[in-house]
Structure 1
């Protein structure tokens, strides 16, 4: 139902418009009439109409002045201007006020119908657009955390191919013209409060970090916890001052350390990377932050605090990903061949520089163990003692041979582990967990934890094994469950909405209609009718 106010100093004109509107537009209700511009403003303030018929020439404040004042109260009210003067001055002023239609007196019935129809169509289109924007915002608010987590994990693993394929910058609404990174290390193995920190990492840390950064920066992306670390990415625009942002990032990190100490009684190490351009630059900043935090020289370290060797462009992240895949498949021969191709593709740096690069590779390989729920083994695979061992080698050949031995050791760990599941086993277990819990609020992280793999790995498995992502799979389950309950159940649509895992009936209705082509009420009516005919 649309609300209309008619403002004209002649009662005959008001009655004429009201009669035409009542006869031809049942969806419109004339809620008030006004004889003066002042009355029109007061009525608009009281009734908040969708549409107003406004005479230009009225006693006191004229119609155009009234429109100007009413738009301050409600910018969404639409106007049809009515005047006996076919004068350019009025037309120009009406256009400046974004008036929708302009009718000359005496108004013919056909012209009134035409003008009102056009304005109602405009209102409907604007409503539809607003609803679509609201629906999009709701959808984004539901999937945005999952998208940000996947993007962060892709950044951590240097997976630019996936970032480009998924077009994360567009999905997240960010250009990533430049930016910097932080890495938090909670140093759980050296801490006296291991249980407290484990609890913090499992349940509170991301919520705490989100609140902390939301109060201090315009936007950032926080990764899931991995190996007792959390990465944070800060996009910036190109109009930045490197020195100023560098100082801000260090102050921000120090404030965070202090806040965590006050809140949880523990102190993380934080590494801060430099500011760089583009996605590749942000990955480079993450590598810098990761290297800085690994030094653990002080609570907050930046790249300038340590001797840092810039990543050489010849290093192939594609080969690194292939190596990880071969290790996951327990293919020793292919893994060694891929490693050799990776190792010898690197420019002939000094031995120390190659050692640093191989340290980073070992950290990446150790994370594979976490995907197979082998945290204890992952922590020992490349601990401080192993790192010291690697740093002692003087020749590139020794480094290469040592790395090959570690890769063979890693494959053996995986192959011998009783906790190994095939990709089919993992995805079946994940599907069963979702089927058993779809009626609750569950996330990709919840499912990954239940099947003992990382969210990043599970996300890839869903796309490769199920040909759809986690959100689509969960939505299909919930809609199928709703379809079973709607026709014969005595439950209301709102009750069914909550029963299948949604907490917003309006959002549930939109999702249901998108999947089935019908609203829940339409679906109930159609299926009840079919059942009655069968009887």
Structure 2
């Protein structure tokens, strides 16, 4: 804790300094001021945590000095020291955050209590600031890994890392969780720049923010040292350094891809991604996602996208959308879930994938229904078949079944039944084993005349004419 003593009486000032230095090993007297003007100047130069301020001093008095210092350094704590027990002084000083009021000659117990109270308060404030900064850094890390939200990311960069000249990501994958506990200490001993990191399951995501422009050789050397200190199966994917904070997401994509490839190949422990590896990995991801949508596996598609969405550039997302749209067009289905321009966040994409898979599931289920229906009709075409009866076999409502039937088979239920019956009728006529009347009953028509009319409609000749033509 840094302490400034503002006291015009030499003996009082020296006695206070000696007392503090002898009794508080973790505290340093950084300056002594003999008047208010000097106190203001030393406060600006030394930035003390605490100032012992005498009220009555020549020139600018203690309260005036406090007002000036408080304007520039509102976090500074003050302990008033005075030979006068004046409530008015204390009352005025309260608005500037005065923590204690000590009467000269100050008792040792009072001084100790005042210092300890302020020490605890400063420690609490520091802890709170650290927690607040940790929350802000976490938000920065989340935004830095995403392509969108550049405006807020730039604002966070100005707040946290105003001196940043370049930045990059490391994605460190390890098999033993104890490495996660060691990593902060290892990074602090190796990395000369500011860094923030996040532990996520079996990997650690590290963002390095440097006040210089980092080079590839420097990052490779750094990764090698980290790998050597973290013994065991540790794979460090390195993203290329970028100068603009809005481009950090690219470095993260590169580091993540490289880390996955290193863990798969197990030939090296650290590297940048190669162009071939990036293209192959992204191509495989696209193919896998489109395949899952085609099968209607919504949960798997969403899980895969959430795991790797950071690797998708804008062009890849557009390609993914067009590939899924093609799946629907090939099946004469309307995508109709969402326009591409509406897919702005990863949550939007997850909803889109899930809804697309649900539509595909409905298509697959519809095809299964129709296969069951076609099988049922093939086995029972000779019986009286109604739309209601056949819909009940697949447990669908009559209206939904009627629409689904027309959509999947391209014709109405009545036309399809007639077509199947006429095909069977032709086979029976060709067999020359039954009369036309018998055949009429065998294919489900109790009225031979009606059977004859339906037959003519399908084949442009009557059953008798067809019979004569094949046995001519």
Scaled by the length of structure 2, what TM-score is found? Answer: 0.41
TM-score of the superposed pair, with normalisation by structure 1 = 0.37
